[in-house]
Structure formats: C-alpha cells, structure tokens
C-alpha cells in the first residue's frame, strides 16, 4: 500500500504535502488497533467561540490511519466530530484512537479527545468509516510525520492556506489546488473539513447576524474522488434559532459536470 492511500502524502511534485502537518496532526500506533498523538492548539486552530472541529477531524484520521493501513488500503468516507466544550485554557489535545471493526469492505474506528495536560477533561469524540480498496501491509510501522514546510503559520487565514477563496454567499471557491493539498492527485478530506466548517460559520453569520459561535458537531461524507477542479463549497442554513444554527455544505467539481464530491453538515451553538 502506498502511504498516500491513507495519509495522503503527495508524490506529484517536490512541494511537501501539508494537510496534516499544517495543523500538527500526527499519531503513533501502539498496537495494530490503537494509536495516540498530541496536537498543539495554536491560535488559528481556534475561533471566537472555542475549538475548531476540523483540526480534530484531521487528528482522528491521522490516528486511525496509522492502524487502518495494517489491515487494509483505503480512504475515509465519513468523519463525524463531536465537540463537548470550548476548550478554554487547553494548550494541547491528546487523541486516542481505536479500530472498532475491520471488515472485508469497510473499517470503522473511533477517536477520543482529551486535554493532554488534564486527562480527565474530555473535549470531544469522533468516528471514522473507511472503504477498503485493497490488502493492508500486515505490519505495524511508525513513520515520523514530516516537518511542516509551507506558507508561514498564523500570517494568513487557515482557509487561505487550504486553498479557499471567500465568496459573498459565505462559501469558498478553490480555483487551483496545489500539490501540497492533494492526496494521490485528489482533493483531500481534510481540505473539505477545514473549508466546510468555515463556510458553515460564514453562512450562519449571514443568516443570523451572530459572529461568535461554537461548533458542536461536524459530519463529512465523501461521495467521490475530486481529480479535476476548480472546486467550490456552498453553504446552506437548514435551520436556526436564538442559540443555534444547522448548516449543510456541498463540495462540487466544476471540471467534471459539477459532480457532487462531499457533503459537510455542522451544528453551531450561537454565543452572545
């Protein structure tokens, strides 16, 4: 199995793949079913209301990916992230992942997030489903995450780092996806998560007028590989009230008959 099948390291160009390394998502396998890792919570991994869910989603695939590849080659098809609280004062997040079932065609896994410096403080929970596309390596191997090399951190919005160009409707165009954001030539699920969550927040603000909010849940369903581009992510507010907004975002590939590639769903807690 090639590494990019699970983790997405780009071999298309000399430009390093950054989808995981930019947010600091990395994990080590403990055995063939469990893994753990720690992510530093830099300022751009938060927003006004608390923790961003998308970096936690990347941590969940970073952790589950290092054990999934032992059993099967494959790719994530659904990533659900539940965030329990704002994470105020938390400096480092620990992820602990576990494979729940390894089937012939699918693999199911979970991830638990805690304060790395206060293990009794539970921050969130995630589940990940993978489609199996081939045999695994059969070997437990830990490869150090390549150091981050790319645009300077904290100097540009994280959405710009992940290729998004803001639109007036709250969504994003992705006119050119550089090799640093491609996984085996495809748009990576991590880019879908980063831009999907941000589009939902922007769409919710346009609908409700509220700028401070906290992501409580995010679900990303990958329907098809995006090999062409340009792409776009469009938000829709499905429901909103005094203290919540529920959004749906869709990612389309405009070079392939506007094919629907993914659907992202989010629930936000609106804050005063």
Read off the pLDDT of residues 196-224 as tens digits, 9 standing for 90 and up: 999 999 999 999 999 999 999 999 999 99
Report, as an integer, the average pLDDT of 167-172: 98
Cα–Cα dist 46/50, whole Å: 6
* Burial environment of residue 85 by CB neighbours within 10 A (0 to 12, 13 to 18, 19 or more): middle
* pTM given for the model: 0.91
For residue range 39-78, list pLDDT tens digits in order: 999 988 998 889 999 999 999 999 999 999 999 998 999 9
For the chain, the average pLDDT equals: 91
Instruction: Confirm if 71 and 102 have CB atoms less than 8 A apart.
Output: yes
**Among residues of the chain, what percentage have pLDDT more than 70?**
93
Relative to beta strand 50-51, strand 182-183 is unpaired
pLDDT of residue 69: 93
Q: Which two tokens stand for residue 33?
A: 């079913």
Report, as an integer, the average pLDDT of 122-134: 97
Report, as an integer, the average pLDDT of 134-140: 92
Neighbours of 238 (CB within 10 A): 12
- Kindly indicate whether the domain formed by 3-138+155-270 is annotated with CATH number 3.20.20.370: no
Q: Where are the domains of the chain?
A: 3-138+155-270
């Amino acid at each position: 199995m090639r590494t990019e099948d699970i983790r997405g390291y780009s071999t298309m160009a000399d430009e390093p793949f950054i989808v995981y390394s930019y947010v600091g998502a990395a994990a080590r396998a403990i055995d063939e079913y469990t893994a753990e890792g720690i992510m530093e919570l830099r300022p751009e991994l938060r927003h006004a209301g608390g923790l961003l869910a998308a970096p936690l989603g990347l941590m969940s695939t970073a952790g589950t990916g290092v054990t999934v590849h032992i059993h099967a080659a494959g790719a994530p098809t659904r990533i659900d992230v539940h965030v329990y609280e704002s994470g105020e004062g938390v400096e480092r997040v620990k992820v602990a992942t576990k494979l729940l079932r390894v089937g012939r065609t699918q693999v199911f896994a979970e991830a638990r997030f805690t304060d790395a410096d206060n293990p009794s403080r539970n921050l969130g929970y995630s589940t990940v489903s993978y489609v199996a596309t081939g045999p695994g390596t059969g070997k437990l191997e830990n490869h150090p995450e390549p150091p981050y090399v790319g645009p300077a951190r904290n100097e540009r919005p994280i959405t710009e780092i992940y290729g998004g160009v803001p639109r007036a409707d709250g969504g994003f165009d992705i006119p050119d996806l550089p090799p640093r954001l491609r996984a085996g030539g495809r748009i990576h699920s991590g880019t879908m998560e980063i831009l999907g969550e941000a589009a939902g927040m922007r769409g919710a603000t346009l609908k409700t007028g509220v700028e401070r909010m906290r992501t409580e849940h995010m679900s990303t369903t990958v329907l098809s590989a995006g090999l062409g581009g340009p792409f776009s992510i469009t938000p829709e507010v499905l429901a909103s009230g005094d203290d919540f907004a529920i959004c749906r975002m869709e990612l389309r590939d405009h070079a392939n008959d506007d094919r629907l590639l993914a659907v992202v769903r989010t629930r936000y807690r609106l804050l005063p």
